[in-house]
């Protein structure tokens, strides 16, 4: 789930706890077929029936709210199974048509030995970690659900009793941390078949926007609406005004040689170079090229990007294959964008696709379910 939605859930739970109001959290463990949300989606429900987050497009929320309130009353977790594959969704009688089987764990929001929401809050504030939830492949109850956490400091916390299985889960968690590959994995052991949900949790993505022109404003606003940290940088004092970028986390007056001051202490960072000044763009790009960026976008046509790289080559700066893989010039997906707002949409969509390891193509051309497993 995205950082903005997770933050809303965490803030709501903190407020409920302060008020002495009990709550339950529902987590999508597994999806077979297609569904609106994938594994890891969450819904927080208070005892009065208020809710935060989504686990579907509204297909199951009504029934799930009642089950969550029952969990709150009893103080015991339960697993809910929703099957919308039958013709006409005979089980629900509502013709939902999602064509998926969704397994959802519902548990009290407080009191867990390894609290997933508290761990998520820790990761948002300290750095990237991995939450691994292990459960029986044919689970219909909560007896087999256990967790392992790899925190941002590298410390391991586990409640998996089987040492061999715990080692396999730890290896999967470390691979998820290294590759960012989040999702469901099927495991087999002497104790049977298990499914493992691995979630890479961390601070929201920071989008560094180099250039504070008018076309940077909709990109900063869109980034903020997605829960990203938008940081706008420019060397022109007349453009670096907070009032022009109210949604941005910060607006900084920085020349290329001072760019490191804009980088976050931790978390993934993407950068888009859009100052429209070729000499300054070359100076910024020289500093950006060696930085810790998962994505680096260059606004403008391909010929301009080639010109910038040629300028850097003249300075003796030649990007490595890995740096070239992260470089996107022209920036953005090919959606026929025209104008600042549409270009911002194309840019943000490409950054999101890169962050999620998606191709950015048409969903109608995709074979198989929308939410694929992380591994086999």
Is the pLDDT reported for residue 374 higher than 80? no
Let me know if residue 175 belongs to a domain: yes
CA angle centred on 286, ends 280 and 289, rounded to 5°: 130
Q: Within this chain, do residues 259 and 217 fall inside the same structural domain, yes or no?
A: yes
Cβ-Cβ contacts under 8 Å for 121 (sequence gap 6 or more):
10
| Residue 67: strand, helix, or coil | helix
**265 within domain boundaries:** yes
The residue segments making up the domain with residue 292 are 206-355
**DSSP code string of 222-260:** HHHHTT-EEEEEES-TTT--GGG-TTSSEEEE--GGGGG
| Cα–Cα dist 97/8, whole Å | 29
Q: Is residue 314 part of a domain?
A: yes
pTM attached to this predicted model: 0.83
Put the strands of the sheet holding 146-150 in their side by side order: 156-158, 146-150, 129-136, 192-201, 183-189
∠ Cα 274 294 322 (to 5°)? 105
What the block records as the tokens of 70 is: 């029952």
Please report which confidence band the pLDDT of residue 45 belongs to, taking 50, 70 and 90 as the band edges: very high
User: How many structural domains comprise the chain?
Assistant: 3
Residue 9 sits in the same domain as residue 38? yes
- Indicate whether 209 pLDDT > 60: yes
Give percent above pLDDT 90 in the chain: 68
Q: For all residues of the chain together, what is the average pLDDT?
A: 89
* pLDDT surpassing 50 at residue 358: yes
pLDDT at 170: 95
162 and 231 in a single domain? The answer is no
Same domain, 221 and 137: no
pLDDT of residue 87: 56
Looking at the predicted structure, is the pLDDT value of residue 142 above 70? no
Residues 120 and 74 in one domain: no
Q: What are the pLDDT digits (tens) for 247-273?
A: 999 999 999 999 888 887 777 899 999
Which tens digit of pLDDT belongs to each residue from 182-197?
A: 889 998 877 788 999 9
Q: Inform me whether the pLDDT recorded for 376 exceeds 80.
A: no
Together in a domain, 106 and 27: yes
pLDDT at 362: 84
Are 64 and 128 members of one domain?
no
Cβ burial 352-376 (10 Å sphere, 16+ → b, else e): bebbeeeeeeeeeeeeeeebebbbe
Side-by-side strand order, sheet with 100-108: 51-53, 42-46, 23-33, 100-108, 78-83
Last residue of a domain, which of 160, 185, 203?
203
| pLDDT tens track for 159-169 | 998 899 999 99
Do 277 and 328 share a domain, yes or no?
yes
> Do residues 131 and 225 both lie within one domain?
no
Q: What is the pLDDT of residue 139?
A: 59
Are residues 79 and 134 part of one domain? no
Is 277 within a domain?
A: yes
pLDDT of residue 99: 66
Query: Do 101 and 239 fall within a single domain?
Result: no
Residue partners of 235: CB distance under 8 A and separation at least 6: 253, 254, 255, 256, 280
> Per-residue DSSP letters for 132-183?
EEEEETT--SSTT-EEEEE-TTS-EEE----HHHHHHHHHHHHHHHHH---E
* Mean predicted confidence (pLDDT) in 115-122: 95
Q: Is residue 361 part of a domain?
A: no
d(CA 343, CA 330): 11
Res 282 pLDDT > 50: yes
Split at pLDDT 50, 70, 90, the class of 366 is: confident
* Angle (nearest 5°) at CA 370 between 104 and 8: 55
The domain spanning residue 329 has which CATH number?
3.40.50.720
């Amino acid at each position: 789930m995205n950082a903005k939605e997770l933050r809303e859930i965490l803030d709501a739970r903190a407020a409920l706890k302060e008020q002495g109001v009990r709550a339950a959290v529902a987590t999508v463990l597994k999806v077979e077929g297609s569904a609106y949300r994938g594994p890891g989606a969450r819904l927080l429900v208070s005892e009065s029936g208020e809710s935060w987050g989504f686990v579907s497009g509204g297909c199951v929320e009504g029934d799930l709210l009642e089950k969550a309130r029952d969990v709150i009353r009893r103080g015991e977790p339960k697993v809910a199974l929703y099957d919308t594959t039958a013709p006409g969704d005979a089980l629900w009688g509502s013709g939902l048509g999602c064509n998926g089987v969704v397994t959802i764990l519902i548990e009290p929001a407080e009191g867990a030995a390894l609290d997933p929401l508290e761990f998520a809050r820790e990761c948002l504030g300290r750095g990237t970690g991995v939450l691994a939830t292990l459960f029986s492949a044919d689970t219909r109850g909560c007896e087999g659900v256990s967790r392992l956490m790899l925190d941002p400091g590298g410390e391991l916390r586990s409640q998996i009793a089987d040492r061999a299985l715990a080692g396999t889960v730890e290896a999967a968690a470390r691979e998820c941390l290294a590759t960012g590959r989040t999702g469901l994995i099927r495991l087999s052991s002497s104790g049977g078949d298990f499914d493992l949900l691995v979630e890479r949790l961390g601070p929201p993505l920071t989008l560094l926007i180099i250039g504070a022109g008018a076309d940077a404003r909709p990109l900063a606003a869109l980034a903020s609406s997605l829960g990203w940290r938008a940081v706008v940088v420019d060397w022109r004092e007349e453009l670096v005004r907070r009032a022009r970028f109210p949604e941005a986390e910060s607006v900084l007056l920085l020349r290329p040689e001072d760019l490191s001051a804009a980088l976050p202490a931790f978390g993934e960072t993407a950068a888009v170079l859009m100052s429209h000044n070729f000499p300054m763009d070359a100076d910024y790009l020289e500093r950006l090229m060696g930085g810790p960026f998962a994505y680096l976008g260059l606004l403008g046509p391909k010929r301009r990007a080639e010109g910038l790289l040629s300028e850097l080559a003249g300075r003796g700066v030649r990007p490595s294959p890995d740096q070239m893989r992260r470089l996107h010039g022209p920036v953005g997906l090919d959606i026929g964008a025209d104008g600042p707002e549409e270009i911002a949409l194309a840019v943000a969509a490409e950054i999101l696709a890169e962050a999620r390891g998606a191709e950015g193509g048409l969903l109608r051309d995709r074979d198989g379910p929308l939410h694929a497993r992380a591994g086999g």
